Amino acid sequence: MAGKRQRNNRKRRSAKRLRVILLFELMILLLVAGSYYLIARSNKDGDNGKDNKQQVIDNQDGKKDKDKNVDENLSPEELEALKEQERLELAIKEREGLVEEAKKLTLSYDYDGAIELIKSYQGDEGGYEVYQTLVTAINELEEEKKSLVLYGGSYTSVTQFNHIFFHSLIADNSKAFDGDYDSVGYNMYMTTTTEFKNMMQSMYEDGYVLVSVHDLAKQVEDENGKLKFVPGEIYLPEGKKPFVLSQDDVNYYDYMDGDGFASRIVIGEDGKPTCEMILDDGSVVQGDFDIVPILDAFVEEHPDFSYKGAKGILALTGYEGSLGYRTDDPTSPTYEQDKETVKEVAEVLKANGWEFASHSYNHRNMQDKSFDFIKKDTDRWLEEVGSLVGPTDILIFPYGVDIESTMGHYSSDKYHYLKERGFNYFHGVDSKPWMHLKDDYVRMTRRPLDGQAMLEFPQRLQDLFNLDEIIDPERPSKNW
């Protein structure tokens, strides 16, 4: 029994020793793991916080050091040189900007304007001629300008230029061509926005370029100091064809209400001219419902469609106000406000390349009417419309009927009176380009591009368009 007990005791002792060893090993293991955890945690803290903070401080120190270098470590001479360097760099940028600006002018063929702009530069060292960038730019512009030819080589005389004209465009075909009593008139005398866009695209592709009548014929002083008209010298790239555009009766008359036309011209939120239209529910929307915003957008996209930014002539009557504002009616509650608005809209239009013309006050046949009537009518237009849109020397005859049928020189009292009131450019209507350029006036006919021309006399437009590509599929066939 004693032997068995001794064995048991030994066994117990050895088991106890093993437990102690295991416990010891466990403690070491815990210690190692714990230390590892602490070290790892301390490193992590360092990454996220301490080191970054340190870095920020370093950066600030760096900046401070740099500032200190500029402010304190530089001698006054060095500081001056640094400022001079910065100023020079700014001036270089300014000259580069000027050249950019000048090149933009050449997109609409205004090489003279571009060269003048650069020549107007005045730097610290002197005029443009001391700056190589500017001299080089001018030389390049002069060189490019030499490649231009008179009237694009397409015409030998300004008398061959086309002058095309429109009335208000139809913006909503379903209303204009709804079959009521005025549908026939709209089909004859109006053009749709689709057709107008097709025409401009086609003319652009054919090389046509919008010009102002004031560039087509200019008033100069002759050797005796007398003013006289001479043909303008319009230089364009080979193949371009200058033409004039006008729009009659930009008044948005009452009779057109509800028939799918714009109701007036306004200045949009972007500061550009646009149109308003009144919908059936009485709400008013803005959009490109007539020539002005459509052509403005087209020329913005294709600046080479316009010579020096020219757009067209807007011919206004007076008997129902101007541009869609009833400025003829002093009893209107918005009379004073409307007059101010028309002045503002006219200024913006002119700044965008549009010109104004008188289309007479009452829209009467000026050949049939008496001298007295013409005199009063002209005075009233100048007083009520001219006072808002500014001075103009362009007259567009109502119905295209000239004051005289002479093929010689104007000689009537009507002419002398109109001339006295400042008119120099007189426009009738014909199917082909026609012009008289006299010492004291310009007489130029215009070609209608309306439904009648397209449907009744398509052969007259053959030189301008392939009408299959122009006519709005929504236009009714000839119904007069």
Nearer Cβ to Zn ion, position 154 or 360?
360
Nearer Cβ to Zn ion, position 301 or 368?
368
Nearer Cβ to Zn ion, position 166 or 243?
166
Length of the chain: 480
Angle, vertex CA 32, rays to CA 27 and CA 34, nearest 5: 90
Residues numbered 398 to 437 that lie near Zn ion (CB under 5 A) are none
Maximum CA extent, the chain: 162
Q: Please state the closest distance from residue 476 (CB atom) to Zn ion, in A.
A: 22
Q: Please state the closest distance from residue 386 (CB atom) to Zn ion, in A.
A: 17
Q: Please state the closest distance from residue 167 (CB atom) to Zn ion, in A.
A: 7
> Please, what sign has the CA dihedral across residues 368, 369, 371, 377?
negative
The order of strands in the sheet holding 273-278 is: 264-267, 273-278, 284-287
Residues numbered 447 to 476 that lie near Zn ion (CB under 5 A) are none
β-partners of residue 149 are: 236
Residue whose structure tokens are 């064809």? 241
Sequence-ordered strand ranges (E) for 214-312: 217-221, 227-231, 235-236, 241-247, 264-267, 273-278, 284-287
- Rounded Cα distance between 165 and 450, Å, is 8
Residue whose structure tokens are 């009131």? 421
Nearer Cβ to Zn ion, position 172 or 248?
248
Nearer Cβ to Zn ion, position 198 or 360?
360
Q: What is the dihedral of CA 222, 224, 228, 231, to 10 degrees?
A: -20
- Tell me how many residues contact Zn ion (CB under 5 A): 2
Residues near 338 by Cβ (< 8 Å), separated by ≥ 6?
A: 321, 325, 326, 327, 332
Cβ 418 vs Cβ 387: under 8 Å? no
Write the interaction track for Zn ion spanning residues 228-257; mark x where CB under 5 A is met and - where it is not: --------------------xx--------
Nearer Cβ to Zn ion, position 275 or 314?
314
- Rounded Cα distance between 450 and 189, Å, is 5
Smallest Cα–Cα separation from 395: which of 371, 429, 418? Answer: 418
Cβ 208 vs Cβ 127: under 8 Å? no
Nearer Cβ to Zn ion, position 249 or 328?
249
Q: Please state the closest distance from residue 264 (CB atom) to Zn ion, in A.
A: 17
Q: Please state the closest distance from residue 316 (CB atom) to Zn ion, in A.
A: 10
Nearer Cβ to Zn ion, position 212 or 251?
251
Q: Please state the closest distance from residue 396 (CB atom) to Zn ion, in A.
A: 8
- Rounded Cα distance between 28 and 266, Å, is 89
- Residues forming the site for Zn ion (CB under 5 A): 248-249
